[in-house]
Amino acid sequence: MRWSASTALVLLFAPTPAHAEAAGAHAHHSHAAISLGGVHVDGATGASIGADVATRFAAHVAIVALIDVARVHATTHLLAATGIAVYPWRRLSVTAAVGWEHAPGHDALALRAAAGYAVPLGPTTVGPTVAIDRAGGATAVVGAMAVGIGF
């Protein structure tokens, strides 16, 4: 059987029994956010903008897809990754992701470890995120403020 991208998206964002059982544990099945911040790598600092979407498949576990664009060393670096987020306490998230970094002159496997806290403000959330990325022999530290919405 051949799976299409639309079928995969429907399955990814469809409500699950685990979500229904844990309705009191969190308000939404999925959450999307945009983050603005900075990145520090190899002695240089630059701007960073990112977006991510997380879909819970259990009360405290979600699948995450993210994209991050940073401007460092006069070049633009693009990171695309997917991983798992765990919610150990309230709206605290801890994420581990693997993906690919693309920059002029190199492409490399990328690993991301991140933590964030989402403070609810009406229908949205706002909160800090910190990530450590490892790609192509370099380590980057990313700090940002994220604004998101559940759905």
pLDDT band at 16 (very low <50, low <70, confident <90, very high): very low
CA distance 132 to 37: 13
CA dihedral 148, 115, 77, 140 (to 10 degrees): 150
Comparing C-alpha atoms, which of 53, 64, 63, 70 is closest to residue 18?
63
Measure Cα distances from 144 to 21, 79, 132 in Å. 32, 15, 12
Give this prediction's pTM.
0.80
Other beta carbons within 10 angstroms of residue 56's beta carbon come to 22
Structural domains of the chain ordered from first start: 15-150 (2.40.160.20)
pLDDT 10s digits, 48-60 = 999 999 999 999 9
pLDDT 10s digits, 52-105 = 999 999 999 999 999 999 999 899 999 999 999 999 998 999 999 999 999 998
